[in-house]
Chain A
């Protein structure tokens, strides 16, 4: 006797904890196997690009904080660099170093959160996540010393940064630099060789290098698929060309490689920060710019390596105080292009883990 089966469609989200925000996925299952998916975006669409057309160039910095709220500093950096390239503003060297230090701290915070949620999605509920949050909290405290805010930082301005780091910032940073390597070792000791983690993540959600390039993936997603591409190396901005660091690259492009690439990137970020602490010169932290910047008519595209991938801003100026068009190339959104390739054919439990390994933030997907 044969048993008749039929596919079942289930709504994952919009308020499912593993979707990291309000992302809805209509999944068709045959038994436990995924046969079709239909992602639904837009629950958090706030029209950032339209809002930017009615705000002055400095005001838009606050909008960029709310894109990827896990890494506001990188968003600020990407945006102010676009404005500077549009209006040819030079940035003092001290400000460049401060930008690199804060952006790399933010990368560590973002990767910690990505790792914590990945392990959370694998079923290790809350405990490893809280380990990650403990360390992220220290970095947020540091940002609070720096600019008074913890999440929506708005620390950077076209032409430099908002204010110089106060004296106590450096001593707290030194302490943190001594302690974070131990934290990462502890996290790795809990996760990397864990048998359950290996069983759930090795050879799951594999993307080949060709697929990753074809899907315009960037960041750890691309590098896990053994493509050595990092904008900090290929097109060095700020002071990255003076610093020594490596680009961690994965081999298989599976969930485990994405995790291990993020862990290694955190160690490289620490290396970058410690070099910056030694090299940072004294001097001004901001070029004087007019209150309302009016860039010359033209357009520019400028991108940085944000924790999640290439974050780019395409700005068009018509010489008024607000941009004519502000397009955000958000890594989280474009990294979701290959959902179908990654998810179809896997079991329901793997689907959650693969989604966790992409590390997307809905504020940036929906904008």
Chain B
């Protein structure tokens, strides 16, 4: 069975490594600040004990007051996974560091989030729309898209 790692244990490790990540856990979800995303995920990937070497998916959800970016990380060797979340309160111009330098597989998924949710990933090599055409107005998965 794939074990979901307990949030508290990971948070302790993250806080020891990266002080300004301000991480905390609610249940199994780990919350970090959006500016520290790249550093924290790099630590989780390279730490030999945690060993999260596989990026399952990146998602964004619009909660009106803030946009939440959700990372599902997996360890193929140790068969455990975590759910990493970050809240971005600047909903009109959300900027989150890209993790496409860590995983090539993040590139298309981050482009999709920019396309449908309007989150800019700084440091992404090719931040263009992917499913909709260039020049499309707005980001359809935003809650305020139709109004």
Contacts and interface: CB of A to CB of B under 8 A. Distances in A.
B57 interface: yes
B92 interface: no
A229 B61 contact: no
A134 interface: no
B17 interface: no
Contact of A337 (B53, B72, B83, B107): B107
B130 interface: yes
A314 B56 CA distance: 11
Contacts of A316: 61
B41 interface: no
Interface of A is mostly: mixed
A45 B131 contact: yes
Contacts of B76: 213, 227, 229
Nearest to A241: B1
B131 A303 contact: no
B71 to A, nearest CB: 11
Interface string A328-367: 0100011011100100000000000000000000000011
Contacts of A327: 57, 59, 61
Contacts of B72: 301, 312, 314
A3 to B, nearest CB: 34
A314 B57 contact: yes
Interface residues of B, number: 31
B91 interface: no
A314 B59 contact: yes
A171 interface: no
Given A42-B130, A314-B70, A215 B140 contact: no
Contacts of A312: 56-57, 72
Interface in A305-327: 310, 312, 314, 316, 324-325, 327
B70 to A, nearest CB: 7
B130 A41 contact: yes
A314 B59 CA distance: 8
Interface in B113-147: 116, 129-133, 140-141
A325 B117 CA distance: 12
B108 A333 contact: yes
Interface string A35-51: 00000011001010110
Given A50-B140, A50-B141, A234 B57 contact: no
A214 B54 CA distance: 7
A124 to B, nearest CB: 31
Nearest to B136: A42
A217 interface: yes
Contacts of B129: 42
Nearest to B85: A299
Contact of B79 (A211, A215, A234, A303): A234
A334 B59 CA distance: 13
Contacts of B50: none
Interface centre among A213, A215, A216 (most CB of B within 10 A): A216
Given A41-B131, A42-B130, A215-B104, A47 B54 contact: no
Nearest to B59: A327
A42 B62 CA distance: 22
B97 interface: no
A164 B116 CA distance: 39
Contacts of A217: 105
A316 B29 CA distance: 14
Given A236-B1, A314-B70, A216 B130 contact: no
Contacts of B108: 333-334, 336-337
Interface of B: 1-2, 53-57, 59, 61-62, 70, 72, 76, 79, 83, 103-109, 112, 116, 129-133, 140-141
Given A42-B133, A334-B105, A338-B105, 7 more contacts: A47-B140, A213-B53, A216-B55, A310-B56, A329-B57, A334-B57, A336-B108
21 contacts: A42-B130, A45-B131, A47-B140, A49-B116, A50-B140, A213-B53, A216-B55, A216-B104, A216-B105, A229-B76, A234-B2, A234-B79, A314-B57, A314-B59, A327-B57, A329-B57, A329-B59, A334-B109, A341-B104, A366-B131, A367-B131
